[in-house]
Structure 1
């Protein structure tokens, strides 16, 4: 009896510890994902979700561009890494459908197998495996997420996918609500039929409806964000919704305003369902996202710009202004062009959804601790601003450089080795100029005759219906430091363009994880690739690469419609930084003292003086000459 009492008491203590969730993990696709404000105006609603919670609640937005219920589960960087972050008492919000429709109602693997069975390798190669069947494999993957979330002691919540802005008159049509019943493909009895249709009351191909069935079957809460966004878009109408709620690149991805309103709808649905009601904050008269603005690490002399989202609902008076003031060193802009220490946002109707850009130049090594004050009437919100300015330690200038004019050879300088260029579902077409009218950015010295590496999708036919990256299709460049050295990377750069039409799109990321987890976006050309116009990509990451780590840079291309023969041109890929011996690192202290000349070998190892072989003389952190000793 005593043991039973102790066990019951222990369970009660555990229950009290986890009575209030610490994290809400959001998993889904690009409509939920987090975006870099310096590369795109697109925002996902998961990115805006945090501001609608109070208390000890943290939103961990792990949604991934291009993910379907299948690909997010099957590809190692995603669901498996999220599970490691889930703790008992957490919630997991699950939204998929957009990319589950990739095979127009068929399962992608089944469709690929069908094409192979009839000997059509071209169509088999062009088939996107991410597709699921609404009433079949889609539901199977949802069940997996639910079961595995519960096994971790957390609570799964299914969320209907937000609508696409597909208007038919004044209403969102059927396929905009992720119901493919008006036109779908079907494999039955070994045959593929296309353009099939079922009645409006047949929900066999309706993804949100099938998700609701899984929720009922497994006793899971279902948030009908599909209907909520349908009503939101219809309340604005096609033109106004396009102007205010979307990012200007189609009918799927939202702007900051659209993402914020959808995030608020999701919080309202949670409150209505009785989920974390004590922690939901819907009627705050002023909120700022993020609540702490962290610039992260930056090199001395680097300038970084961040977005600060400022929202107000039920503001009094109903018409007025919100003032934003920055402390010393920070600059603000409401229009993205004119920067001062203050900014003003106007609002009407008691509601404000706006943002200011915050710019900071890292001029002295050490920690950054500044503040931004947001004021509306007698309401004031103070936002801490943090960061760290660092200096590179003395070392050897190092780079891996792929010119890509006639081959894929990599020229290296310093203690670094290239792991070469690799392809996944892409291939080299040829080396040539994109076009006789090709333009290059000023200062390159290149003209239209300069050759580039032209790459094309396997099978040479780009599929229809792609609006975002495909996680299994990419071009990769990789490099790693030599043994015994550490590489402090401070540049990743290249030139890219589309060739053969204006429909080429791409995103570019880097990661030092073997499975490309925690990838960082450095370029987003979701709607801005003009054919034959070479565009520069240049990022300044603060990245320390140890001798056993590899830096991978990936280009993820897609085309915005079915097309044949279109290529993506790549040129002058560079990974650069400063190499030091593995016991050195990044210098975070400011010093104005003149640094004495130091001697390093070609592997970046510090030497007491000139030694046999090639010696590199470094003064003030820069290599000034090389000395060979026989």
Structure 2
């Protein structure tokens, strides 16, 4: 079966990244927020799934589908998640399954069959470890095998629940203590239940609970608080814990001979990500990428690594530092401490900016490709959609677009009122002193205890669609958000164009001061063709059990430029036109204009394949060396630049 990744069509403006199917294995990681991918610009959390790729060579791609707030039940039942993962799985792939944190929501008891029918108002995500939890693990295993892929189970990393120098039973996902059960009784032990399913179904299991228990206890309570877990709670990993957990998983996979030949066992320098794709930006916009580095058993045992970037890119040790062309990192004892640094890029004209990050101490040298794409929007009609949310939820629309009315799930509008007589706003304007907001309350009025992340079925939604005959290019999402009545309100603001099968984050607040409104502003690069919809959701939760607390919203805004669908600029193209597939050592091109000319360049701009003429459907030999390349297709109608990967 051909790789689904290798069939991705070219989309979105000037270029698109394409992954080859040639001998490519994908590990699909499914789990909860401790595994999920986060935006470094909005959160300090780093799920271990987003750190996993650096431990594999080019023959394996990690497709991290970990989802905030997911349990084994909710990930299976809610349409955007397991259903869409299965569509990505091909024969020969692996599915790594890690659930427990949110299965514990009802203290080891079931929470109902679905979100609309919870048991006595409980959180429906909850599962009993001996029944429902095992049933869903079996479903994942059986359905993965039906797709000729290999399931792997992984117990969950520990919570930072210390009792002296040791992690408590509840931190190990064993809730038996709350039922006064002896330690030998595993009735409410999720890790033990998963191990039983592994034996029953003949599936290999990675015991991350035991592995991270040893790791976290070696740091101790104070150091774990300072270095391994984010300050907001005792569950979510920092970049360091995310990386160490991913490394433990990879090491255990080698021990169990799971994809061992593909795993990077290098003990010198590890850099994540292994290729820095900044994605798309509008001209003049600055993109910043967080990169991590760590080194082991280095030669010489003490020295300095120089990290330098090529022209067009800048580097700094901290976001607040002045960015330049290089930085130095000293190390001793043969090890380079796990460190974050940052690379930025901006460009005043449209087109692809490519370059390299070079890391060297004179003995060890690593080169990481860098690439970004900049887009200039010319012409078109401005679109501005605003929900003031002062007295009602009626939006104001300027320009050609279609409004998707505000809706609530698990939430309702309590009133339109000021958060407080002395509300603090991030704007210096008398008009905001007494400004009303939309105050939203959880259905039933009572916020549950123990929530530390979003609930996928509780949200406030807004949206916009392109008008017929146009494509809508979104260049701003913004709003004001705050909590009234207490300082425990939390929220994540996310957006999606595919009903949240894939999600981007516009803002995230793990700490909010009562009666304070916060500004959210995100500059996405989104092209919404006619027939597609951008949905924007605010997912609220509260830090403790409470009643009457509201999340306040004001001035929700979506801005963009509507371009006539029949009059796109020459560097834009739709997914149903030119198609580019890298497969079996060849580049296969379909729907190219007659007598088009193609040229291939590497990331330094060196021409690696001289210009040749192609017809509508052609096949040319791909470059021999693995890496990221740039293809330029020229015709009478347009010039198109395509980024692609040769593994």
Range class of TM-score, shorter chain: 0.7 to 0.9
Change over 3 Å in CA distance of 1:508–1:435 after alignment to 2:
same
In the TM superposition, what is the alpha-carbon distance from 1:397 to its structure 2 partner?
Answer: 0.8
**Does residue 398 in structure 1 map to residue 393 in structure 2?**
no
**Does residue 100 in structure 1 map to residue 103 in structure 2?**
yes
Q: 1:448 matched to which residue of 2?
A: 433
2-structure distance, mates of 1:136, 1:446: 57
Q: 1:596 matched to which residue of 2?
A: none
Equivalent of 1:135, from 99, 114, 130?
130
Change over 3 Å in CA distance of 1:436–1:305 after alignment to 2:
same
Pairing 1:243-262 to 2, within 5 Å after superposition? 243-262=226-245
Quick one: higher RCO (CA 8 Å, sep 6+), 1 or 2? 2
1-structure distance, mates of 2:567, 2:40: 33
Q: 2:48 matched to which residue of 1?
A: 45
In the TM superposition, what is the alpha-carbon distance from 1:84 to its structure 2 partner?
Answer: 1.1
Q: 2:417 matched to which residue of 1?
A: 432
1-structure distance, mates of 2:546, 2:247: 39
2-structure distance, mates of 1:84, 1:115: 29
1-structure distance, mates of 2:333, 2:569: 51
Which runs of no fewer than 5 residues in structure 1 stay unpaired?
Answer: 1-17, 117-123, 184-195, 590-630
| 1:342-364 Cα distance to aligned partner (Å, 9 max, x none) | 12223344333112111111221
Equivalent of 2:555, from 544, 548, 572?
572
CA contact (8 A) 2:488 2:511 kept: no
Q: 1:486 matched to which residue of 2?
A: 471
Q: 1:477 matched to which residue of 2?
A: 462
**Does residue 86 in structure 1 map to residue 80 in structure 2?**
no
| 1:372-426 Cα distance to aligned partner (Å, 9 max, x none) | 1111331111111111111113011111110001110000001112121000000
Query: Alignment RMSD, CA only?
Result: 1.9
Give the secondary-structure state (helix, strand or coil) at the position aligned to 2:345: strand
Change over 3 Å in CA distance of 1:55–1:429 after alignment to 2:
same
Give the secondary-structure state (helix, strand or coil) at the position aligned to 1:230: helix
1-structure distance, mates of 2:536, 2:497: 9
2-structure distance, mates of 1:308, 1:37: 10
Give the secondary-structure state (helix, strand or coil) at the position aligned to 2:32: coil
Q: 1:29 matched to which residue of 2?
A: 32
Q: 1:309 matched to which residue of 2?
A: 292
**Does residue 524 in structure 1 map to residue 519 in structure 2?**
no
Equivalent of 2:176, from 178, 181, 185?
181
Change over 3 Å in CA distance of 1:305–1:283 after alignment to 2:
same
In the TM superposition, what is the alpha-carbon distance from 1:585 to its structure 2 partner?
Answer: 3.3
1-structure distance, mates of 2:271, 2:569: 33
**Does residue 410 in structure 1 map to residue 413 in structure 2?**
no
In the TM superposition, what is the alpha-carbon distance from 1:587 to its structure 2 partner?
Answer: 6.0
2-structure distance, mates of 1:363, 1:341: 19
Pairing 1:154-553 to 2, within 5 Å after superposition? 154-183=149-178, 196-338=179-321, 339-351=323-335, 352-443=337-428, 446-513=431-498, 515-525=499-509, 527-553=510-536
In the TM superposition, what is the alpha-carbon distance from 1:321 to its structure 2 partner?
Answer: 2.8
TM-score (norm 1): 0.85
Moved more, 93-102 or 572-581: 572-581
2-structure distance, mates of 1:142, 1:563: 33
Aligned residues: 550
Change over 3 Å in CA distance of 1:410–1:255 after alignment to 2:
same
| 1:272-294 Cα distance to aligned partner (Å, 9 max, x none) | 11111112223330121111111
CA contact (8 A) 1:181 1:199 kept: yes
1-structure distance, mates of 2:152, 2:163: 31
Change over 3 Å in CA distance of 1:146–1:519 after alignment to 2:
same
Q: 2:634 matched to which residue of 1?
A: none
Q: 1:599 matched to which residue of 2?
A: none
CA contact (8 A) 1:371 1:383 kept: yes
2-structure distance, mates of 1:111, 1:578: 40
Moved more, 435-444 or 70-79: 435-444
CA contact (8 A) 1:68 1:97 kept: yes
Change over 3 Å in CA distance of 1:510–1:114 after alignment to 2:
closer
Q: 1:594 matched to which residue of 2?
A: none
Give the secondary-structure state (helix, strand or coil) at the position aligned to 1:469: coil
Q: 2:631 matched to which residue of 1?
A: none
1-structure distance, mates of 2:116, 2:535: 32
1-structure distance, mates of 2:288, 2:525: 15
CA contact (8 A) 1:499 1:569 kept: yes
In the TM superposition, what is the alpha-carbon distance from 1:528 to its structure 2 partner?
Answer: 2.5
Pairing 1:108-147 to 2, within 5 Å after superposition? 108-109=111-112, 124-125=120-121, 127-147=122-142
| 1:151-192 Cα distance to aligned partner (Å, 9 max, x none) | 111110000100000000000000000000011xxxxxxxxx
Change over 3 Å in CA distance of 1:243–1:319 after alignment to 2:
farther
Give the secondary-structure state (helix, strand or coil) at the position aligned to 1:261: helix
In the TM superposition, what is the alpha-carbon distance from 1:455 to its structure 2 partner?
Answer: 0.3
2-structure distance, mates of 1:139, 1:317: 50
| 1:244-264 Cα distance to aligned partner (Å, 9 max, x none) | 111211110111111111111
Moved more, 432-441 or 225-234: 432-441
Change over 3 Å in CA distance of 1:203–1:111 after alignment to 2:
farther
CA contact (8 A) 2:307 2:360 kept: yes
Q: 2:64 matched to which residue of 1?
A: 61
| 1:114-133 Cα distance to aligned partner (Å, 9 max, x none) | 987xxxxxxx44x2110000
CA contact (8 A) 1:391 1:587 kept: no
In the TM superposition, what is the alpha-carbon distance from 1:213 to its structure 2 partner?
Answer: 0.2
Pairing 1:574-589 to 2, within 5 Å after superposition? 574-585=557-568, 588=571
CA contact (8 A) 2:81 2:501 kept: yes
In the TM superposition, what is the alpha-carbon distance from 1:136 to its structure 2 partner?
Answer: 0.6
TM-score (norm 2): 0.82
Change over 3 Å in CA distance of 1:410–1:55 after alignment to 2:
closer
In the TM superposition, what is the alpha-carbon distance from 1:498 to its structure 2 partner?
Answer: 1.0
CA contact (8 A) 2:112 2:118 kept: no
2-structure distance, mates of 1:113, 1:423: 14
In the TM superposition, what is the alpha-carbon distance from 1:489 to its structure 2 partner?
Answer: 0.9
Give the secondary-structure state (helix, strand or coil) at the position aligned to 1:354: strand
